[in-house]
Amino acid sequence: MCVYGIVFLMKPPRTLQEAITYFSDPDRAFEYAVKLRFPDGKIYCPRCGAEKYSFIKTRRLWFCYACKKQFTVKVKTVMEDSALGLDKWMTAVWMLVACKNGISSHELARSLGITQKSAWFMLHRIREALKERTFGGGKIGGAGNEVETDETFVGGRIQNMHKDRKLRYNQLGGVYGGKTIVHGALDRTVRKVRATVVPDVKRETLQDAILKNIKYGSTVYTDDAVAYMDGLQENFIHEILNKTESYVRGRVHVNGMENFWSLLKRGLKGTYVCVEPFHLSRYVDEQVFRYNHRKHDDRTKMTDAERFKLAMSGVAGRRLTYDDLTGKAESPHHQTTGTGTQEPF
């Protein structure tokens, strides 16, 4: 649970309570979303790209003269098709990115006075928008950077089983019923994580995840699981942690990754009582977002308000459109243009 002080000021919000008050004004919430949606101030029809429209102020929507359809600030964002107001969306985003372990749909439903089903829908949409790709997140590492990489098992009966034993179970024929495997990599230099759900712990699968997420030339630390044994040295400086000899051999360890796994599991245990394997990847995205944006690049602490702004740029910004989520054709204005330099507040 997050606890915030109650301060009513009309300055840009710094706490959840201030954010709720701030965005309860529909005009202010609308203006904020418009600045994120059209960061260069140029409004266009998200459907056809035309810039000829009229604005219907009372309903806070536009009418496009080219395609003769109305559009709102939500069209082609993760909020499309949602009847919930911007104030509710913004409060939900704040709660999700500010609470260390996230929030459950039940908790969100109670806070916003909406149904649990609506809250569940919102949380999943927001998690989609928090995916690292939304924020230009490509591969981590690079020459001179140290990257820890590891995998973990989530859920199911063998959750607490030692990894070596799990691997033996796998070799016996993939006894994974109810367990989901997550592979992750942590760039120790910039403290950024990439994590994805993978189908199994076969060599091809795990090494493929490494190739997709880590830049060639990085120094890569893994444990001595069979899957990591051959091949990685072709593209990386590969250092292997031998668990039977000594747990930590100088810098060769995956303790940072293990710390991330424990954060992930703590959140799952405390907040998300049960997460179906299918939905786990979204929750992983959420946890990666919070982890990667605890601090700025210069290592100063990121405030809740700053993390919220960043998250909102994914939720209401055009960088991630509804089409990205559904895989439809790209709109003419789809090109990514960065975060937008204008401050939304």
Give the binding site for Zn ion (CB under 5 A): 45, 47-48, 50, 64, 66-67
CB-nearer residue toward Zn ion: 63 or 120: 63
Closest contact distance (angstroms) between CB of 62 and Zn ion is: 9
CB atoms under 10 Å from CB of 104, counted, come to: 17
Closest contact distance (angstroms) between CB of 295 and Zn ion is: 41
Q: Can you tell me which residue has the tokens 């796998």? A: 170
d(CA 304, CA 312): 12
Longest dimension (CA), the chain: 72
Closest contact distance (angstroms) between CB of 45 and Zn ion is: 3
Closest contact distance (angstroms) between CB of 329 and Zn ion is: 15
d(CA 306, CA 292): 13
- Integer angstrom CA distances of residue 258 from 30, 52, 183, 222, 236: 41, 53, 11, 12, 21
Closest contact distance (angstroms) between CB of 189 and Zn ion is: 46
DSSP 3-state assignment of 243? Answer: coil
Closest contact distance (angstroms) between CB of 315 and Zn ion is: 22
Q: Is the dihedral of CA 6, 272, 124, 135 positive or negative?
A: positive
Closest contact distance (angstroms) between CB of 42 and Zn ion is: 14
The residue count for the chain: 345
HEC string for 282-301: HHHHHHHHHHHCCECCCCCE
CB-nearer residue toward Zn ion: 67 or 84: 67
> Could you give the angle at the alpha carbon of 40 between the alpha carbons of 38 and 46, nearest 5°?
30
CB-nearer residue toward Zn ion: 64 or 103: 64
CB-nearer residue toward Zn ion: 6 or 50: 50
Closest contact distance (angstroms) between CB of 63 and Zn ion is: 9
Helix ranges, the chain (H):
16-23, 26-37, 86-98, 105-112, 116-129, 163-171, 203-213, 255-270, 277-292, 304-315, 322-326
CB-nearer residue toward Zn ion: 45 or 186: 45
CB-nearer residue toward Zn ion: 38 or 228: 38
Q: Is the dihedral of CA 161, 165, 168, 172 positive or negative?
A: negative
CB-nearer residue toward Zn ion: 25 or 51: 51
Closest contact distance (angstroms) between CB of 332 and Zn ion is: 10
d(CA 174, CA 200): 8
> Could you give the angle at the alpha carbon of 117 between the alpha carbons of 115 and 120, nearest 5°?
110
CB-nearer residue toward Zn ion: 70 or 145: 70
d(CA 252, CA 242): 9
Give Cα 114 distance to the centre of its chain.
Answer: 23
CB-nearer residue toward Zn ion: 11 or 68: 68
